[in-house]
Amino acid sequence: MFRKDPFPVKKIFLWFTVFLLGMFVSFVIFVSVASIKFGLSHPTQEGFFIPVLAGILSIVLCISLFIGYLRFIINMVREKDIIRSS
């Protein structure tokens, strides 16, 4: 009468949040690369290394947080009954 495997609404929502977070991370990486390029194109100015360091730090931070969140989501999706789990 009832299906044992209900429609995975929560799985779809989780993968949608991963997609949105991936889009945000790609935007931050784009801005960081622009910051690095700006810093490297002005080596004669005082403090040119600050945009380079900020760009590198933001890229590393965004990628590490995205990988951590992705691992968390994958572990949640692997559960057998994700909708009814508490």
The predicted pLDDT at position 12 comes to 82
Domain range for residue 67? 10-77
Q: Is 60 exceeded by the pLDDT of residue 86?
A: no
Q: How confident is the model at residue 85 (pLDDT cuts 50, 70, 90)?
A: low
If we measure between CA atoms, which residue out of 54, 21, 52, 60 comes closest to residue 36? 52
Give the C-alpha separation, 2 to 35, whole Å: 55
Tokens 């403090």 map to which residue?
47
Does 67 reside within a domain?
yes
pLDDT in tens, 8-23: 677 788 889 989 999 9
What is the number of structural domains in the chain? 1
Q: Are 63 and 26 in contact (CB under 8 A)?
A: no
pLDDT, tens only, 23-58:
999 999 999 999 999 999 999 999 999 999 999 999
Over 60: is that where the pLDDT of 4 sits? Answer: no
Please state whether 3 falls in left (phi above 0), alpha (psi between -120 and 50) or beta: beta
User: Is residue 82, in this structure, part of any structural domain at all?
Assistant: no
